Structure 1
Amino acid sequence: MNYEAGVIAEKGETISVDFEPVDQAAEEKRRSDRRKIIIIAVLIVLGLAIAAFFAMRGNGTTTPAGDENAQAPTVTVVTPGRTTVEGQITATGTLAARREMPVGVVGEGGRVVSVPVDAGDWVRQGQVLASIDQSVQSQQVQSAAANIQVAQADANLAQANLDRALQLVERGFVSTADVDRLTATRDAAVARVRVAQAQLRELRARNARLNIVAPASGYVLERNVERGQTVSAGSPALFRIARGGEMEMLARLNEDSLASISVGTTAQIRPVGTDRLFSGQVWQVSPTIDQQDRQGTARIALPYAPGLRPGGFATATISSGTVVAPILPESAVLSDRDGSYVLIVNGEDKAERRAVTTGTVTSKGIVIDEGLTGSERVVLRAGGFLTEGETVRTQLAKLD
């Protein structure tokens, strides 16, 4: 069936235009199919490209050198060289009094009536640290003093009798035998005086030993006695004194380290819990090595300072001459469970891990004892973000 669509008038003529009927549903379906085909084709091409990319990486196929270098990350590297630095040995140990003096009961002891000093006080030689009750002993002293007076009186009487007899012997009133007897009596009386005087001195010496006194000037470390306590010759030490207040550190070192130091070597001591440094000097190196841990002791003398507490833990940095070694900034040295390491850039511009042994920390950086010759290109920063074997571009930096 034909339908008349309209009439067009041109130059006075009438033209009749006829249209065939169109199926709209079929046309929409054809368009939808074409879109699906195009989308599927794009996805296939994209999938093939991705597969080709991963296949090339898996087979070791790389992009041209120019493209790879253009995409490689840029890292800053340094060539440390070798520097002469002061050698140092780090050791740990405990603090102690260099000459510790335990002070205990010297005499027979008794009840403590006063303790005028405490731990942390300075005392002088002969100063009383603790006083013992002497009430009984003082009565004994008085009795001994009275005995001297009695003995002296007897000696005076015997001397007077002898003097009178000597005056009468010339007249024949007294015999020589009587003079000898009176002389012996006089001598015995004088001897009794001396005995009484010796007994008095003994009592006074005993009483003087009752008090606990400082054997030398120093710093009181411990006080283990209280007023009212009864002490005797068998009691433990009542006080511990550091003679002259001198301290020391007992630094534990292995055999190699002990061999590199000597008496007179300087050291810096840092007690745990403080940033203060104390200067000392090695005054004794252990002549023996402990068979259990293969270590010896270096004794470092220290003057008295309030921050040094015997029994505390400390770290010592001991000078051990000069060494020539590379020095790296702290940012270049990394560490993990396998130890310290650095990343270097090899001749193929690839990152490479290098295990190192670190030494002392100086103002310029960390001394590398082992692992580097100093001519390597060491990654200065961001080494932890690089993968070993990764290609990089380098930018050389100079160390100050």
Structure 2
Amino acid sequence: MAAAPLLRVLALGIACASPVLAEEALPVEIVTVAPMVSGYDHKLTGSTETTTLIPLAFRAAGRIIAVEVDQGDLVAQGAVIARIDPVQQREALRVAEAGLQAAEAGLLRAQQEFDRQKALLDSGRITQAEFDATREGLVTATSSREQAQAQVVRARRALEDTVLTAPADTIVAARSAEAGQVVEAGQTIVTLAGRTGRDAVFLAPDGAPVESFLGSEISLRLLNHNGRELRARLSEVAPVVDAATGSVRVKARIENPPEDLFLLGEPVEGSLTIPASVGAVVPWTALTESGGQMAVWTVDPATMRVALAPVTVDRFTTESLLIAEGLPPGTMVVGEGSQMLFPGRLVQARPEVAQ
């Protein structure tokens, strides 16, 4: 009977010796969100290109005997660009002209015979059938003469095509053949560029916010001409990323190309001004994910407990990110240490990083 009171005394002593464990606050970096107006210039580096390229080629195969221009030359409309050996074309024209002479002589004889037979028919000395045969001969001779004329026209055109000329006032952008080279029909000899119409072409990093600014003005600087400034408008953004470079091809149409510069392959720097927006800057370490959406841990200043808040990120930088929506001014956000949190976790600011 004396054992029961003794056990109660021992149990009471053990309970008094075990203090209640209090929840410990996790030291983390805590930052207070303040509104920030953000606007910046996005820099792009590229080169100038023409909007019009004209590849010139001979209509027929042949051996080039002369190329009269070189890259960078200015050429006027009708100027000779190149020539191929015209021996075959000249011989073909001689044969066609001889054929035309023979056809014209045959037509003359047929016409004379027709006139004679017409007179005989009128006097009743021949039959209608005999006259119809003569008339068919005249039709045949006329057709032969027309075919011979067409052959001469084709032969003359072929001879003219042995000389390649400029279709307009242009600039030689590239030269692809040399004298003595045998070329096929349609093989490019030179490529001409129009004297007007220029684009600035850039390779923008993937993710750069350029597509939403199609039609916006871009200021340009010609790097080889003391930073000479031009105006351009964003006209095209490639729909896919170049797999080799990881960049996106961007074009801007130059609105005021200088008359004293041809702007072919000139290095150029473009500056695109991104309009200002209001947001909140938080450190990279604050960003986490919740249900497939970006979020940050916010701190209730009354209880110092954390909760997840979904956010919309406007822009990333090398050290921070700009939050467009989801963080009102004055919100307390966890930076470093956010990876160790769960909803309702008690935190405290580390003194060395408290703000």
Matched ranges for 1:371-386 at <5 A:
none
- Structure 1 contact 92–313 (Cα < 8 Å) conserved: yes
- Structure 1 contact 122–220 (Cα < 8 Å) conserved: yes
Question: Which of 70, 91, 106 in structure 2 is aligned with 1:154?
Answer: 106
1:211 aligns with 2:166: no
1:208 CA displacement:
2.4
C-alpha distance in 2, partners of 1:144/1:197? 8
2:201 paired residue number: 250
2:233 paired residue number: 281
1:203 CA displacement:
0.8
Q: TM-score, normalised by structure 1?
A: 0.53
C-alpha distance in 1, partners of 2:146/2:209? 66
2:12 paired residue number: none
Question: Which moves more between the two structures, 259-268 or 194-203?
Answer: 259-268
1:308 aligns with 2:266: no
- Structure 2 contact 60–186 (Cα < 8 Å) conserved: no
Unaligned stretches of 5+ in structure 1?
Answer: 1-81, 326-355, 359-367, 371-388, 390-400
C-alpha distance in 2, partners of 1:231/1:86? 59
Matched ranges for 1:309-348 at <5 A:
309-310=264-265, 313-322=267-276
- Secondary structure in 2 matching 1:119: coil
1:199 aligns with 2:151: yes
Which is bigger in relative contact order (C-alpha 8 A, separation at least 6)? 2
1:108 paired residue number: 61
1:93 aligns with 2:53: no
- Secondary structure in 2 matching 1:156: helix
2:32 paired residue number: none
- Structure 1 contact 93–250 (Cα < 8 Å) conserved: yes
1:132 paired residue number: 84
C-alpha distance in 2, partners of 1:187/1:221? 53
1:268 aligns with 2:223: no
C-alpha distance in 2, partners of 1:102/1:252? 25
Matched ranges for 1:54-65 at <5 A:
none
What is the count of residue pairs matched by the alignment? 252
C-alpha distance in 2, partners of 1:241/1:309? 11
- Structure 1 contact 107–233 (Cα < 8 Å) conserved: yes
C-alpha distance in 2, partners of 1:297/1:257? 13
C-alpha distance in 1, partners of 2:113/2:121? 12
- Inter-CA distance 178–123: structure 2 relative to 1 (3 Å threshold): same
Question: Which of 184, 191, 214 in structure 2 is aligned with 1:233?
Answer: 184
Unaligned stretches of 5+ in structure 2?
Answer: 1-34, 280-315, 323-351
- Structure 1 contact 268–316 (Cα < 8 Å) conserved: yes
1:179 CA displacement:
0.8
**Counterpart residue type for residue 246 of structure 1:** G
**Counterpart residue type for residue 152 of structure 1:** E
1:382 paired residue number: none
- Structure 2 contact 64–82 (Cα < 8 Å) conserved: no
Question: Which of 121, 124, 130 in structure 2 is aligned with 1:178?
Answer: 130
Q: TM-score, normalised by structure 2?
A: 0.59
**Counterpart residue type for residue 44 of structure 2:** A
- Inter-CA distance 230–191: structure 2 relative to 1 (3 Å threshold): same
- Secondary structure in 2 matching 1:277: strand
C-alpha distance in 2, partners of 1:272/1:122? 21
- Structure 1 contact 255–289 (Cα < 8 Å) conserved: no
1:395 paired residue number: none
CA deviation profile, 1:154-179 (whole Å, cap 9, x unmatched) = 11211111111111123332222221
C-alpha distance in 1, partners of 2:64/2:244? 46
1:291 CA displacement:
5.2
- Inter-CA distance 177–314: structure 2 relative to 1 (3 Å threshold): same
CA deviation profile, 1:248-280 (whole Å, cap 9, x unmatched) = 222222324224421243231343685333332
1:215 CA displacement:
4.2
- Structure 2 contact 211–237 (Cα < 8 Å) conserved: no
- Inter-CA distance 112–193: structure 2 relative to 1 (3 Å threshold): same
Q: Which has the higher helix share?
A: 1
1:212 CA displacement:
2.0
C-alpha distance in 1, partners of 2:59/2:177? 15
> Identity rate of aligned residues, in percent?
21
- Inter-CA distance 202–90: structure 2 relative to 1 (3 Å threshold): same
1:152 CA displacement:
1.2
- Structure 2 contact 50–197 (Cα < 8 Å) conserved: yes
1:153 CA displacement:
1.6
2:141 paired residue number: 189
1:207 CA displacement:
1.9
C-alpha distance in 1, partners of 2:231/2:122? 87
- Secondary structure in 1 matching 2:210: helix
C-alpha distance in 2, partners of 1:186/1:316? 74
C-alpha distance in 1, partners of 2:71/2:163? 18
